[in-house]
Amino acid sequence: MSGYSSPGRAASFSPDFPRAKHMELQQQQNSDLILEMEAMMSKLFQVSVPILLEAALRPLREDVRQLSEKVYQLEGRLGDSRSRPEVPEVVQELPSPAVVATQDFLAYVAPKLDGRSHKGQCGRIGVLGGSVDYAGAPFYAGMSALRSGAELLYLYTAEEAAPVIKSFSPELMVTPAYRFESMATPDLQEAETQALVDKIVNLLPRLHSLCIGPGLGSHEGVLAGVEKVIEMARQ
């Protein structure tokens, strides 16, 4: 309602006018209070999150250091200071703990390119994957390993898929591990499965890491061979 009366009548103000004004002021105060609380929460978030992340990442980084020590002991290079990377110092103040932890990890475990290593010493990766229907997945897995710093990539796949994957990139060393046609034949399946196992097991001593699964499919003969390969790799 307007506080002004119609012409010819005495001017009067509605009794609701002061109440409406009071509610408007109260809403403004509430809005200011909400903005102030949001600003305080934002400052608290900026201060507390890096501290919490650093506290959570510190044990993980220590575990990585211990694991890397064991790796170099197994490779017989622990006493050679030329090939052993320096242990990064613990960073006390971290503007971005996740980024710094990742940098520390990579700097510690990645081999140094000092000109004294031979081809393959900085990473030999095996990929067991691919099938008649899926040729892209093992290719991407292999290329990801190479672009991450690995030097040699051994890709074992179905004989029918090998030429296709080879045509994608000359950097991948693609080898047929089994014939799907034989794997799908009941009388030949057992022998073909064993041939798959033998090829991969013979490769294991040369590898630093083995990736199993991308594009492998779900044929029972292939899965049986993979199960045996995993058992042998764990020994």
Q: C-alpha distances in angstroms, 177 versus 55, 123, 192? A: 46, 22, 9
Q: Tell me, what's the pLDDT at 43? A: 64
Q: Tell me, what's the pLDDT at 8? A: 44
Give the gyration radius of the chain's Cα atoms: 33
Indicate the domain borders of the chain. Answer: 26-109, 124-234
Q: Tell me, what's the pLDDT at 2? A: 43
Closest CA to 178 of 210, 211, 206, 220: 220
Q: State both tokens at 178.
A: 């089994």
**d(C-alpha 72, C-alpha 84), whole Å:** 8
Give how far the C-alpha of residue 107 lies from the chain's centroid of Cα atoms, to the nearest Å: 17
Q: Tell me, what's the pLDDT at 136? A: 93
The predicted model scores a pTM of 0.55
Q: Tell me, what's the pLDDT at 156? A: 97
pLDDT tens per residue across all 235 residues of the chain:
444 444 444 444 445 556 666 666 666 776 777 777 766 666 655 655 566 666 666 676 676 667 767 666 665 554 454 454 554 554 444 446 666 677 777 676 666 667 777 878 888 999 999 999 999 999 999 999 998 888 899 999 999 999 999 999 999 999 999 999 999 999 999 999 999 999 999 999 999 999 999 999 999 999 999 999 999 988 8
Cβ distance 193 to 225 under 8 Å?
A: yes
- The alpha carbon dihedral of 137, 142, 147, 148 has a sign of positive
Q: Any idea which architecture 124-234 has in CATH? A: 3-Layer(aba) Sandwich (3.40)
Cβ distance 182 to 192 under 8 Å?
A: yes
Strands of the sheet containing 124-128, edge to edge, are 173-178, 152-158, 124-128, 209-212
Cβ distance 56 to 89 under 8 Å?
A: no
Q: Tell me, what's the pLDDT at 113? A: 67
